[in-house]
Structure 1
Amino acid sequence: MQQLQLEASWDKALSTQDREHIKKLFNETKQQHYSTIVFAPIREAINHRNELLVTVLVHNFTSFPFTFENTRLVYSNEQAVLAEQAFTLPALTIPANVSMPWTFIFPPGSYTQGASLWNGRLDIQ
């Protein structure tokens, strides 16, 4: 059975509104019954450093813990690839059958500036 977990810093920092939004998204997407890693989009933004922030709910539907070790992520829409970056996140391990929110940061140069970056999809390549 899929469970929602929050990394400690997320648990402290999340507003009540964001926490409720994530719980609702989890309840809507936890029954997908894949045997892989699936990303459910939460939001996108550009920060003050011109980095693309893609916040997703990472569903680990596998029976093994998942870590990001030089894991290439692709953010795209129906027309094109908008961003690509390899991520190594030693502090992030998503246990088996657990869903966790996370923000992936794409630095300038790893995404197409000027493109419509909203409502994309994040996938492992």
Structure 2
Amino acid sequence: MQKLEFEPSWDKTISSNDRQKIETIFLQTRKFNNHPIQLTPLWQAFNHKGELLVTVLIHNFTLHSYSFQNTKLNYIVNNEILVEHFFTLPSLSIQEERSMPWTFIFPKENMTYTLPFENGHLEIV
């Protein structure tokens, strides 16, 4: 059975409003849908450096832990890849049958489009 977990630093700092949003989305998306690793969009924003921050709920529906080791992610809006980047996150391991929120930060120099970045999704390549 799928369980929601928060990385310890998230667990200490997340607002109650954001926690509630994540828990609601988890309840709506916690069923396996033919993708062993699913990235459910939560929100996106730009930081003061112009980097794109994409927060997702990572669902690991497998029976083994999952980590990001030189994993290419594309951020897609309206079937257009707006930005891509390789991620290695040594401190992040999502245990089997677990879901966890995470924010991926795409460097400004990787962005080639000026299209709106709203309503996109991440895809593991």
If the TM-score is normalised by the length of the shorter chain, which range does it land in?
Answer: over 0.9
Match of 1:60 in 2: 60
Counterpart of 1:100 in 2: which secondary structure? strand
Match of 1:96 in 2: 96
Answer with 73-82 or 49-58: which moved more: 73-82
1:12 aligns with 2:12: yes
Gaps of 5+ in 1: none
Superposition deviation, residue 78 in structure 1 = 2.1
Question: 1:33-52 residue pairs with structure 2 within 5 A?
Answer: 33-52=33-52
Counterpart of 1:102 in 2: which secondary structure? strand
- In 2, the alpha carbon distance for the partners of 1:46 and 1:83 equals 13
- In 2, the alpha carbon distance for the partners of 1:79 and 1:11 equals 33
- 1:102 counterpart letter in structure 2: W
Match of 1:111 in 2: 111
1:68-112: per-residue Cα shift (whole Å, max 9, x none)? 000000110224101100000000000011000000000112123
- In 2, the alpha carbon distance for the partners of 1:54 and 1:121 equals 8
**What RMSD over aligned residues (CA atoms) do the two structures have, in Å?**
1.1
The number of residue pairs the alignment matches comes to: 125
Counterpart of 1:89 in 2: which secondary structure? coil
- 2:62 counterpart letter in structure 1: T
Superposition deviation, residue 35 in structure 1 = 4.8
- In 2, the alpha carbon distance for the partners of 1:78 and 1:63 equals 32
Match of 2:28 in 1: 28
- In 2, the alpha carbon distance for the partners of 1:112 and 1:124 equals 19
TM-score (norm 1): 0.96
Q: Which has the higher strand share?
A: 1
Counterpart of 1:44 in 2: which secondary structure? strand
